[in-house]
Structure 1
Amino acid sequence: MKEKGGEYIWFDGKFVKWEDAKVPVFTHAMHYGTAVFEGIRGYASKDNVYVFRLKEHVERLRRSAGVYSIALHHSVKELCDATVALLKKNNMKQSVYIRPLTFVGLHGIDLNVTDKSPTHTVIIAFPFEKYFKGEGISACVSSWRRISDQSTPPLAKAAGNYLNSILATQESHRNGYDESILLDMAGNVSEASGENIFVVRNKKIYTPFFADSALEGITRESAMAIAKGMGYEVVERPIPRAELYMADEIFLTGTAAEIVPVTSVDGHAIGSGKEGHITRSIREAYARIVTGGVREYMGWLTPVW
């Protein structure tokens, strides 16, 4: 984002003006990527702003921090409360993106990060609508492989992991595609650069499991629950690359992307080359749910006002 977001940022328990939220250039996370983060959406409705699955996102932040022994000095409840308070402080009444970030501070140049290392947590919020424009996107299979649990744990949402995604995104854009799809080290489909992936064949929905280096996506899990609630069968299993070209539908899920159809892969049209019926039904249900339009899913939402 190139412009200023909300007037205030939550920084280690205090509200700080956007322009005053600064860190030293010797911050460990700046040099080594020792940070974990979350992406959370707040959706404006007619009478409120609803934060989508706030607790689940903050719990994942804590789990990610634990993988790297990065101390998080605030409880899940404290961070959830701080998020709502920040939106109120900034008088956010439109749809927003929320970025909690926990990072290692002035630790020095050594790599022995422990739970005693100095850490900080910030929460940033800014107005946000759509990540992908249009009714469907084109994708290519990246020449870069997805990071492996044998080297850098994909289940931890760590800042450094996304250098892998940046390389894949750069490659896809250079070649004229909207997004990239990465394979794991075994050659199976893993995920897109910033989203989980689903493949529809013969009215069944398939998605890679975590052993395929996929992130434990919260929007992924939400889409699976929605699909099952509609009566669709959802199966987690390895997906070979060639199955992408044979798919009836493909869609991606993620906090920023929400639910977006992939209409072509490597120049191969997926199905009719337009959004498929199953993708559309899940996407439209998701859009109703996040704005408080479906009573049975209100437990996923945290009202701000």
Structure 2
Amino acid sequence: MKTLTKIFLVSTAVAFIAVKWRPSHFDPESLRGARVLVTGASTGIGEQMAYHYARFGAQIVITARREKVLQQVVEKCLSLGAQKALYIAGDMATESDPDKVVEFSLEKLGGLDYLVLNHIGPTPLSMWKGDIEYARWLMKVVHVWSYESGTSKGSLVIVSSLLGKVPGPFTAPYSATKCALNGFFGSLQHELAMKNSNVSVSICTLGLIDTEGAMTAIKLVGIVTNLPASPASEAALNIIKTGATRQAELYYPWKIFIMTLTKDWSSTQSHYNLLRTVPTPYLILLT
């Protein structure tokens, strides 16, 4: 137990220094007039990112499946100061819509400075029941193919989850897709660096966020947790700053970095016991 405590204290210190004290050179003016595409932007974190970009005076295209909701988000973006705000309804689970969305953005904005990939597929929280077809659809079509199809345009900001690094219960297909995202874009980061490319890739690992979808999912499954959910607006702002400063990674809230450090250093049961002492979410991390 003493060893586990030492590991926890050391990892906490490392996480705090590496994440909390990391210098930030974010210049809000750098986003004025920036051309941005945000996927999954009708609600939750994507919606909040659209509002922040609007306040910074960016030119924004947002996309999601629900056209009426997108119209409302665009109207608010314009009222907040966006130089331009447009929407295109699209289903990223289809083969044609991802390309259509990117082409629309390029045509309307004249290029893309930031491509923020935030969409996810419908992901019910439940024990794994062997639904191979659903898992295959979620993995191949929604998360992997549609994300990868956007890697040729703009600086990439990828919204991922702690479940892509520390799998938890009730989320087997979801965890698999996030692992795939981390692997693909982590590899892409190295390849771009080898080519001295000016394209940046920022992978944002999030914990529990207080989006309507995440909170509803917790209630439906009946999970009881005293772990606080972080505000979507703050998460969105941190994601934007990470992309604007071209940082390779973001852990939000910063405490979840501890979990990625300690997950392989103790037994599963000890790890769960340790997590109970850390005021940060583990079980449900859908964003």
Q: Same fold (TM over 0.5)?
A: no
Q: TM-score, normalised by structure 1?
A: 0.25
Tell me which protein shows more strand as a share of its residues. 1
Tell me which protein shows more helix as a share of its residues. 2
